[in-house]
Structure 1
Amino acid sequence: MNIVIIGSVLSALATGAGALIILFMNGTVTHRFRDVLLSFTAGIMMSASTMGLIPEALNYGDFVPLAVGIILGVITLTLLEKNIPHIDLEHSKKGIEFDEKAMLIIAAITLHNIPEGLSVGVSFATDAIETGNLIAFAIGLQNAPEGFLVALFLVNQKISKFKAFIIATLTGAIEIVTALLGFYLTSYVKTLLPYGLAFAAGAMLFIVYKELIPESHGDGNERTSTYSFIFGILFMIFFFELF
């Protein structure tokens, strides 16, 4: 149980670690750099899903729970996206006040962090402790640039650096709650384990293809972003092989 709390807290706090950079920045970053960060994190999440969560789901079940879990993950993220108002990181919405803007940003990132937290908790419910460690590590790596981009977006909307840092850090807190939820559910109801692993994988794949890749491929940086995506995949494969 302690390892779940530690893993989920560390991966969630990585959002704040990335956002911390904003406090020491005097200028801004190029659009290409932001696209590269988004696509790199997409590669990390792709590897975590296809090399970590999906194989473990098949290990504890068969194709049916894998397919059901993935489809449920995709449907859930689709419903959340349609019914929770949000704005994308790379797009601005003019003429809104600070409170509404902060609410929209938090809602948008919460959509991303719910399946990420679940994936950490469910991974720690497996018999292979290294799977949980690797998924938590992968989510933490993804959270750091995400936290930086959220804080950067808020600063660009004339929000103070300190407030931007606090808001970006708090967006990662939901992962701790959902990680514990995923761990408890799949630990005490073992039949749910393959479904939970596949659900997390499906939700993460939805985020990769629906959110991260499109946002990194709309401003003339498609080739650079593609390279970054591939390097993100290779980066995580290296750590899967290392551990």
Structure 2
Amino acid sequence: MTFIVIIVVSAALIVGAVWGIYGKLSGSTEGFLVALAGGALMVSAILELIEPASHQAPLMYALASVLMGAFVFCILDYYVKRKFGSGNGGGLLAAITLDGIPENLALGVALIGADPLTVAALSGSIFLSNLPEAAGGAKEMANNGRNKRKILFLWVATAVLLSISAIAGNLLLADVSKEFLAYIRCFAAGAVIASLAIEVFPQAFKEDSYYTGVAAALGVILAIFLTDMGGQ
């Protein structure tokens, strides 16, 4: 089950990148899907990362880890845009990588002894967010004239890196304290929240205007449904 889930979640990046590079999806549809993913990520960050961590570590330290994750993401995103320019997909790639590494570490640990419905809820939320984000980032890179094969290779390499993170979490972090894992989850949540504010929702609004609000709400509903299903 562990490797199947990891492959499915990481494959979303590759499928999304292929979709963004070679697909013919309209900008408004893409924006709607990105906002949908953003709404789902919003719920996942709170219910599946921050809320459980708040019961496993001192609340102030857990919240400080959230702030640290957001702060580190903002700094890295700023330098990515300074080096490569805004609007070229680099920001979304940074978002997926920075929140994805601790998120997949936590996913790997969550797979240890977890029941199938809980695993499905967590991996479903990650899949739902990775697919359109990868599509949007790869499309922006392709629109800026970068070599399509190099773009695809970059996203495949990112998928491999995140897969390694999940495997490492499953094999190496099984015996670490719950408090330490809580800090990893909170750091990931902070990066997720910052990426939503800086990358995901602004891009979605640019493509799909006010329908973005409806899409985000649908994403929230879907993520809550998945979380509820995992808790039954």
TM-score normalised over the length of structure 2 = 0.80
Q: Aligned residue for 2:186?
A: 198
In the alignment, the residues of structure 2 paired with residue 22 and residue 83 of structure 1 have an alpha-carbon distance, to the nearest angstrom, of: 24
The aligned residue for residue 13 of structure 1 is 11
User: Quick check: 1:217 aligned with 2:205?
Assistant: yes
Q: Contact 1:185–1:192 (CA<8 Å) still a contact in 2?
A: no
Residues 108 and 168 in structure 2, CA contact (< 8 A), matched pair in contact too? no
Equivalenced residues, count? 224
The answer for the alignment partner of 2:225 in structure 1 is: 238
The unaligned stretches of length 5 or more in structure 2 are: none
Query: 2:76·2:94 contact (CA, 8 Å) conserved in 1?
Result: no
Counterpart Cα distance in 2 of 1:133 and 1:60 = 22
Partner of residue 97, structure 2? 113
Cα 1:80–1:152, aligned 2, differ >3 Å: closer, same or farther? closer
Structure 2 residue aligned with 1:45: 41
In the aligned structure 2, how far is the partner of 1:77 from the partner of 1:150?
16
CA distance in 2, matches of 1:159, 1:184: 37
Equivalent residues of 2:108, 2:169 under 8 A apart: no
Aligned to 1:31: 27
Deviation (angstroms), 1:39: 0.9
Of 30, 51, 59, 2:55 maps to 59
Please, what is the CA RMSD of the aligned residues? 2.9
Inter-partner Cα distance in structure 2 for 1:71 and 1:184: 28
* SS of equivalent residue, structure 1 residue 29: coil
- Aligned match of 2:114: 129
In the other structure, the counterpart of 1:95 is none
Cα distance in 1 between the residues matched to 2:13 and 2:213? 24
| Letter paired with 2:194 | F
The superposition leaves residues 87-125 of structure 1 with CA deviations (integer Å, 9 ceiling, x where unpaired) of: 45xx35xxxxxxxxxxxx567504422312311321442
Q: How far apart, CA to CA, are the structure 2 residues paired with 1:238 and 1:116?
A: 22
Residue pairs, 1:92-111, within 5 angstroms: 105=89, 108-111=92-95
Q: Is the 8 A contact 1:16 1:169 kept in 2?
A: yes
Paired residue secondary structure (2:193) = helix
Partner residue, 2:64: 68
Contact 2:36-2:217 within 8 A present in 1 as well: yes
Whether the 8 Å contact between 2:124 and 2:226 is mirrored in structure 1 is no
**One-letter amino acid matched to 2:182:** P
- Please give the alpha-carbon distance, in whole angstroms, between the structure 2 residues aligned to 1:63 and 1:12: 31
Deviation string 1:131-177 (CA, Å, 9 cap, x unpaired) is 55433221112111223223433443455665554443333223123
